[in-house]
Amino acid sequence: MTLSELKVAIIGASGRMGAQLIELMLDRDDVTLVAAVTHAESSALGQDVGSRLHRPTAGVQFSHDLMAAAKAADVLVDFSLPAALADNLAAAVQTQTPIVVCTTGLNSRQHADVEAAAAKVPVLYAANTSLGVNLLLALVRTASQALGSNCDIEILEAHHTAKRDAPSGTALALGEAAAAGRGQQLKDVAEYQRNHQHDPYKKGSIGFATLRAGDIVGEHTVYLVCGSERLELTHRVAGRKTFAEGALNAALWLAKQTPGFYHMKHVLGLDD
């Protein structure tokens, strides 16, 4: 298969990331959009994807036929909602179509479902497809390991007001990297709620704080505080094109893999 033949179906195509992916794919010649999947009640159903973005018609209409999309595509790219995950994975497995899952807010059962599907078909899970965040994950792990248990770690994330999940998937991934650097598991040390609590600070905890305001695309800061000395590692994104480019690069990479569970670090060559 040459790159120019890669056929991509977007799931969650009527959303913010869907629009950004469609926009990008209409301008690229290494990928072809073959299906734009949304849900059965969407007002976008039947519309041409180009027309909806005030561009020339593209010949692909929004549809809720997930199975037809999976059959037509070389790779599925999912930016939808956690509630759609089970159907998306089932379609990928049934049609043997690799799937890039970018939806966040998954619960632990859903994360297990993603891993289980990866035994049957190539699956890549990325809470954040940007190069910067994936570098940051490695930096945070290294810093946490180097600074050790005397260092307090807190994570602050800021996003637009339409975001439904909190903390963000990226914040959780950064928390996992910080915990791993100290030889911990995030579930054992995470602190999600301090407001209206009167409990003393728990040494070794990793706390999460969330801001929702305006149209902030995505900002994450990891604070590593050792007494009076403070290291702040920050990543900011000003446009969703960054995520869309990362997702398409992941799709191009995943199409060539055998069944297995993959992450952006594999695509970017950042594997340990």
Ligand X SMILES: O=C(O)C1=N[C@H](C(=O)O)C[C@H](O)C1
Ligand Y SMILES: NC(=O)C1=CN([C@@H]2O[C@H](COP(=O)(O)OP(=O)(O)OC[C@H]3O[C@@H](n4cnc5c(N)ncnc54)[C@H](OP(=O)(O)O)[C@@H]3O)[C@@H](O)[C@H]2O)C=CC1
* 97 marked ligand binding residue: no
If one asks whether residue 159 binds ligand X (CB under 6 A), the answer comes out as yes
Of the pair 105, 207, the CB lying nearest ligand Y is at 105
Q: In this chain, which of 68, 84, 135, 139 binds ligand Y, going by CB under 6 A? A: 84
If one asks whether residue 127 binds ligand X (CB under 6 A), the answer comes out as yes
Residues in region 128-147 near ligand Y by CB under 6 A: 128-129
Query: Would the CA dihedral through 158, 159, 164, 168 be positive or negative?
Result: negative
Interface size with ligand Y, residues (CB under 6 A) = 26
256 given a catalytic annotation: no
Going by C-beta distance under 8 Å and a sequence separation of 6 or more, which residues neighbour residue 154? 206, 207, 208, 209, 222, 223, 225
Of the pair 243, 262, the CB lying nearest ligand Y is at 243
Shortest separation between residue 216's beta carbon and ligand X, angstroms: 9
Task: Please give the Cα distance from 248 to 165 (Å, whole number).
Answer: 23
Q: In this chain, which of 28, 64, 163, 241 binds ligand X, going by CB under 6 A? A: 163
159 interacts with, out of ligand X, ligand Y, none, CB within 5 to 8 A per kind: ligand X
The single-letter code of the amino acid at 141 is R
159 given a catalytic annotation: yes
Of the pair 38, 47, the CB lying nearest ligand Y is at 38
Selected catalytic residue, list 163, 241, 263, 265: 163
* 151 marked ligand binding residue: no
The rounded radius of gyration (Å) of the Cα atoms in the chain is 19
* 17 marked ligand binding residue: yes
If one asks whether residue 97 binds ligand X (CB under 6 A), the answer comes out as no
Residue nearest to ligand Y (CB): 15
* β-bridge mates for residue 62, sequence order: 36
Of the pair 8, 172, the CB lying nearest ligand X is at 172
Stretch that binds ligand Y, among 31-39, 114-122, 135-143, 205-213 (CB under 6 A): 31-39
Q: In this chain, which of 104, 134, 184, 249 binds ligand Y, going by CB under 6 A? A: 104
* 142 marked ligand binding residue: no
If one asks whether residue 170 binds ligand X (CB under 6 A), the answer comes out as yes
Give residues in contact with ligand X (CB under 6 A): 104, 127-128, 159, 163, 168-170, 218
Give residues in contact with ligand Y (CB under 6 A): 11-12, 14-18, 37-39, 42, 79-81, 84, 102-105, 126-129, 165, 169, 243
Q: Which residues are catalytic?
A: 159, 163
